[in-house]
Amino acid sequence: MNFFKFFSTAILNFRSKEVNTSLIGYTTEKKIPQVSNSEIEAFQHATADTTDYKSYLPPLFLAKLSIDIIIDICITPKFKINILNTVHGEQHIHWYAIPKRTESFTITTTVKDIRNVPTGEVIYFDVTVSTTEKRIMNLTLLAIVTNKINKVSTKQKKEKSDNPSEPFTIDFFINKNQNFIYGKLLNDHFSVHTNRLLARFMGLTK
């Protein structure tokens, strides 16, 4: 990630109340050359993946590259995205073929839609990864920009947690410093992801 671009966008769009709807239909295409063994090894180390994929790429490697492109779109100043209030939403991946290490790829990313929701806006991204011969993967991802934050009181939080109909949660445990390793791989060193105090300051209590 380009940190100068990130911080300049964060400052310029700090008070942005609405995403620039000219973003709808925006498409970018990026060519990915043959992936090196060192890149694959770094990805597997960061994701604690010990599988031997032989002549194939780890399944989520191309998804990682796709998300890099989405982040780059989100930190483009002219789109008026308040990046400090933007979170990763739901995503779906559909595979059409197993990617091989010897292949090069084209990643086409399109902003399909921007919709208003009670707390802000949702940006719908559609990503297609293909070779010259076939489609490999399709990724759909939602980015949620919380321009209108609804603050919940401590009492309301307690009442909600005491509600027996509240959906169950699942805890995922990661290795020590795994977030730093993964952040280094993604060039994502945003302190909210690695600093507990800053994360709490931004409203992330867990």
Predicted local confidence at residue 178, as pLDDT: 66
Write out pLDDT tens, residues 141-176: 988 888 654 444 444 445 555 555 544 454 555 666
What local confidence, expressed as pLDDT, does residue 173 receive? Answer: 59
The strand pair at 120-130 and 135-145 is best described as antiparallel
> What spatial distance separates the first Cα and last Cα of the chain, rounded to whole Å?
25
pLDDT at 28: 94
Question: Is the distance from CB of 94 to CB of 137 less than 8 angstroms?
Answer: yes
Rounded CA separation 108/29 (Å): 4
In the three-class reduction of DSSP (H, G, I as helix; E, B as strand; rest coil), residue 16 is classed as coil
b/e per residue, 112-137, with b = 16+ CB within 10 A? eebeeeeebbbbbbebbbbeeeeebb
C-alpha span between 206 and 204 (Å, rounded): 6
Give me the pLDDT at residue 119, please. Answer: 76
Q: For 85-139, how does the pLDDT look when each residue is reduced to its tens digit (9 = 90+)? A: 888 888 889 989 989 999 999 999 999 999 888 778 899 999 999 998 999 999 9
- The helix or strand, by DSSP H or E, that contains position 3, with its residue range, turns out to be helix 3-12
Give residue-wise pLDDT tens across range 24-69.
Answer: 999 999 999 999 999 999 988 888 888 898 899 997 888 888 888 8
